[in-house]
């Protein structure tokens, strides 16, 4: 049975954790704990490197103004000099060219400046390899910014690769790393003086200042990666003396990445992390040892410490489920068992809101002084959550993954990865239409959309379901339309004139609301049981690299279907919306989804102009030169014209395209087109067809062999109710090629080609598809298909 994804809303608790272990804020409480509240009167400006002109350029090869980052920093004006004038100091810009700069960097008391890399953040790396227990002689400086002359080791502060002790500083598009423990594996290979119990602290970045802004910055380490500190009275000792309330120390990290394993985001600053990636690392520690993510040491007199919001908390492969605590309070300078509530003793504060959590996370842990985590009482911790969402075990590595090698046509032509290259800021948890629109607005930027709700595409911003009157043009009257275009008076001409124009305007208004155009490089995965879309359509038009998984698509209802007086010779109503439509779309994977008509089936619609109104078009149509598509493990049910592959006999430019694989899908209570193929090389394998004679959707046929199509059928299974014979499973529709291997009908072998030849003796049916799959899809024998498909197809089956 699929495990339930736990969605945290308001005061609800997360799966497996009590309110005591995972305290949640109410809506009213959360309204006062926002980024604006944490940052106060500081409103950080957007960082746009395109607009910057470098003051200095760092390049190790000598092509810039300086060869080292420290040299460029030293050339910047000091804060005291900059503030001695009456005019505000201008900002300096230091551009660092791609390369690795191994140097302990000290930035102290500088005028406002921006340090930024050229290119991707991973292309500019500032790194050192010092650690807490690394010996040094008394009198030797641990770090230019913090000498610690009396110490005999570098200590945690002295290990920092970069010390940023300056106000109004900005870092962008670069990596700061500490690689001291990179060679340690499974607790083996520690340097002298280091063990699992201590000494391995190795800071990548230490900040001590106000209005410090990080944008697209990668901080890489193990224990104590990011140390966000305050100007405390005993700064020279590393912050372990008296606990005076210091000045402001606000830090904002946006669209950044922080990796570590123990207490790797810690300190006493007011730290906001927004739209970022927080990764718990594997490999260093002895297997079975856990870790902690955050360790705030907020002064007791301050209400706001850490705020982490709209971010992904994931783990490297090898980190066990529930092995890493969200964090613990750093009771700085307090011995074990000695913590008492006092203005002079810190009590870390943190709020985690709107994040996406991986399954590696466990509840909060006891503090560094072994104070048990409590949500209430005299020793209460000040750490809480609001509207976070936790993924089950398989989701980070499976549901957001690319299509597997050999998994049908989508695995060819370089494969289908969707939005797998998304940067932290392009990973969105979507709960509302507004969230969805914001994610879609990223355009072709790689994006991962974790859908945590069912979104009614026909609803307005307040959630009210819109109806015909909301979309109807004032000049459109349905009854008048029917009277106007009655074939008895109008004939068989296409509708034209004011009423048809008004219908088209009405349809256009509805389409603007209910059609979502999915851009290229997009992965959408449902992560709650109800995740999906109703009342509208996802359109994949002229796009590439799209993955849709674990979503329910339902009821793409058309209020204004078009009347075609010549369709089928007697006229038909034709609706506009497929629940999902592919047009000139390439590299698409649709997996573990469910498709249906919802609660408004077409057979219950009224009759007009002699024909029943059609409100739903296809469930999943693949047309107009779409290519390299895999449709796997989906449930299609309760529909009429289910799937077109190739939209018209006249679309001759579809030749050489429409390469589609359909495998392990369950088709039930469907009338026809499962699929109906024109032109394409289509592989239909291990599908289960349940054919029923009655109900709203009585069975017609399954596979339609259309013009110039090349269909390969392998080990498919039909389960048919009495009165339905095997001769109905395949229909010849101007095509002449079908190859079948090993399929069964009601448990017996079936030969669709022989049946086609018998039904159409005047046609020369070729029993070979004319192509061989260039991929290695694993094919089950037909006898295993019903159980496998029933157990695995549809939503809720990925984990």
Residues marked active site are found at 673
CB-hemisphere CA count at 13 Å for 744? 15
Length of the chain: 799
Radius of gyration over alpha carbons of the chain, in Å?
32
Q: How far apart are CA 194 and CA 222, in angstroms?
A: 13
Q: How far apart are CA 580 and CA 578, in angstroms?
A: 5
Q: Of the candidates 251, 254, 146, 250, which has an alpha carbon nearest to the alpha carbon of residue 203?
A: 146
DSSP output for 674-717: SSEESS-EEEEES-EEEE-SSSSS----SEEEETT-EEEEES-E
CB of 78 closer than 8 Å to CB of 110? yes
576 secondary structure, DSSP code: -
The Cα 383–Cα 708 span in angstroms is: 65
CA angle 366, 367, 369 (to 5 degrees): 115
Joined tokens for residue 698: 């009585």
- Buried residues in 569-602 as b, exposed as e (16+ CB within 10 A): eebbbebbbbbbbbbebbbbbbbbbbbbbbeebb
* Token pair 């994804």: residue: 5
| Residue 514 parent element (H or E) | helix 498-514
- The Cα diameter of the chain in Å comes to 105
Distance (Å, whole) CA 687 – CA 428: 33
CB 676 within 8 A of CB 668: no
For 9-18, the CB contacts below 8 A with 24+ separation are: 9/387, 10/386, 10/387, 14/385, 14/388, 14/390, 15/390, 16/322, 17/363
In 180-311, beta strands by DSSP E = 205-208, 212-220, 226-229, 250-254, 257-260, 262-267, 270-274, 277-280, 291-296, 306-309
Query: Please, how many CA atoms are within 13 Å of residue 241, restricted to the half-sphere of its CB?
Result: 10
> Could you tell me which residues come within 8 angstroms of residue 624 by beta carbon, excluding any fewer than 6 positions away?
583, 584, 647, 651, 654
189 touches 183 (CB < 8 A): yes
Q: Concatenated DSSP letters for 375-432?
A: SSSTT--EEEEES-EE--TTIIIIITSPPPTTSSGGGSTT---TTTT--GGGEEEE-S
Tokens 């077409």 -> residue: 602
SS3 744: strand
Neighbours of 787 (CB within 10 A): 11
* Alpha-carbon span 429 to 520, nearest angstrom: 18
Among residues 463, 468, 494, which one has the least CA distance to residue 479?
A: 468
Chain centroid to CA 151? 47
Closest CA to 548 of 465, 619, 463, 458: 619
CB count in 10 Å sphere of residue 699:
25
How far CA 253 is from CA of 35, 96, 246, 250, 315, in Å, comes to 12, 19, 21, 10, 19
CA angle 630, 645, 760 (to 5 degrees): 120
């Amino acid at each position: 049975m699929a495990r339930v994804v736990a969605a945290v809303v308001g005061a609800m608790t997360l799966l497996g954790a009590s309110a005591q272990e995972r305290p949640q804020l109410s809506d009213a409480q959360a309204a006062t704990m926002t980024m604006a509240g944490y940052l106060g009167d500081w409103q950080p400006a957007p960082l746009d490197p395109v607009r910057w002109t470098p003051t200095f350029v760092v390049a190790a090869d000598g092509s810039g103004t300086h060869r080292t980052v420290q040299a460029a920093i030293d050339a910047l004006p000091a804060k005291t000099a900059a503030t001695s004038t009456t005019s505000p100091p201008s900002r300096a810009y230091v551009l660092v060219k791609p390369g690795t700069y191994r140097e302990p960097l000290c930035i102290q008391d500088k005028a406002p400046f921006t340090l930024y890399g050229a290119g991707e953040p991973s292309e500019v790396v500032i790194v050192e390899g010092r650690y807490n227990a690394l010996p040094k002689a008394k009198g030797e400086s641990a770090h230019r910014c913090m000498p610690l002359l009396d110490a005999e080791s570098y200590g945690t502060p002295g290990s920092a690769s970069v010390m940023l002790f300056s106000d109004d500083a900005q870092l962008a598009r670069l990596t700061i790393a500490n690689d001291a423990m990179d060679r340690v594996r499974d607790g083996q290979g520690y340097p002298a003086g280091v063990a699992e119990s201590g000494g391995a602290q190795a800071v990548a970045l230490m900040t001590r200042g106000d209005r410090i802004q990080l944008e697209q910055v990668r901080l890489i380490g193990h224990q104590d990666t990011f140390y966000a500190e305050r100007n405390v009275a005993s700064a020279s000792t590393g912050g372990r003396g008296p606990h005076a309330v210091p000045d402001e120390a606000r830090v904002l990290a946006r669209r950044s990445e922080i990796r570590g394993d123990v207490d790797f985001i810690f300190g006493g600053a007011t730290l906001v992390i927004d739209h970022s990636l927080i990764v718990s690392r594997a490999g260093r520690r002895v297997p079975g040892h856990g870790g902690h993510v955050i360790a705030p040491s907020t002064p007791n007199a301050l209400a706001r410490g850490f705020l982490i919001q709209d971010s992904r908390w994931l783990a490297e492969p090898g980190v066990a489920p529930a092995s890493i605590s969200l964090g613990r309070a750093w009771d700085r300078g307090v011995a074990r068992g000695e913590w008492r509530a006092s203005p002079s003793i810190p009590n870390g504060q943190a709020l985690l809101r709107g994040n996406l959590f991986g399954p590696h996370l466990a509840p909060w842990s006891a503090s560094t002084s072994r104070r048990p985590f409590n949500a209430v009482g005299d020793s209460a911790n000040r750490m809480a959550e609001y509207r976070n969402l936790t993924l089950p075990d398989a989701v980070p590595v499976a549901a957001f993954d690319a299509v597997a090698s050999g998994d049908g046509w989508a695995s060819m032509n370089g494969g289908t990865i969707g939005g797998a290259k998304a940067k932290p800021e392009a990973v969105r948890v979507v709960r509302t239409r507004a969230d969805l629109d914001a994610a879609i607005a990223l355009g072709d930027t790689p994006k991962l959309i974790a859908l945590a709700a069912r979104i009614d595409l026909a609803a307005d911003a307040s959630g009210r379901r819109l109806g015909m009157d909301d979309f109807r043009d004032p000049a459109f009257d349905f009854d008048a339309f029917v009277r106007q275009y009655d074939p008895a008076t109008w004939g068989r001409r296409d509708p034209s004139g004011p009423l048809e124009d008004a219908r088209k305007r009405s349809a256009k208004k509805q389409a603007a609301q209910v059609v979502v155009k999915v851009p290229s490089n997009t992965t959408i995965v449902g992560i709650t049981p109800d995740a999906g879309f109703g009342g509208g359509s996802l359109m994949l038009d002229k796009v590439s690299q799209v993955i849709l998984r674990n979503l329910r698509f339902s009821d793409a209802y058309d209020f204004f279907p078009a009347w075609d007086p010549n369709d089928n010779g007697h006229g038909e109503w034709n609706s506009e919306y497929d629940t999902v439509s592919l047009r000139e779309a390439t590299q698409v994977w649709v997996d573990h989804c469910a498709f249906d008509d919802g609660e408004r089936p077409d057979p219950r619609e009224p009759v007009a102009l002699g024909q029943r109104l059609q409100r739903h078009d296809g469930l999943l149509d693949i047309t107009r030169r779409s290519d390299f598509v895999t449709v796997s493990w989906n449930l299609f049910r309760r529909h009429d014209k289910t799937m077109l592959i190739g939209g018209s006999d006249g679309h001759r430019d579809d030749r050489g395209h429409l390469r589609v694989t359909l495998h392990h899908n369950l088709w039930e209570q469907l009338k026809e087109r499962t699929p109906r193929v024109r032109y394409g090389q289509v592989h239909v394998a291990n599908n289960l067809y349940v054919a029923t004679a009655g109900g709203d959707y009585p069975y017609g046929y399954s596979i339609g062999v259309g013009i110039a199509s090349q269909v390969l059928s392998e080990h498919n299974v039909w389960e048919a109710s009495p009165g339905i014979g095997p001769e109905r499973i395949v229909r010849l529709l101007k095509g002449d090629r079908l190859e079948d291997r090993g399929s069964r009908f009601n448990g017996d072998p079936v030969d669709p080609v022989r049946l086609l030849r018998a039904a159409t003796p005047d046609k020369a049916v070729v029993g070979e598809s004319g192509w061989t799959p260039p991929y290695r899809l694993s094919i089950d024998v037909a006898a295993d298909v019903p159980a496998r498909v029933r157990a695995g197809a549809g939503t809720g089956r990925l984990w």
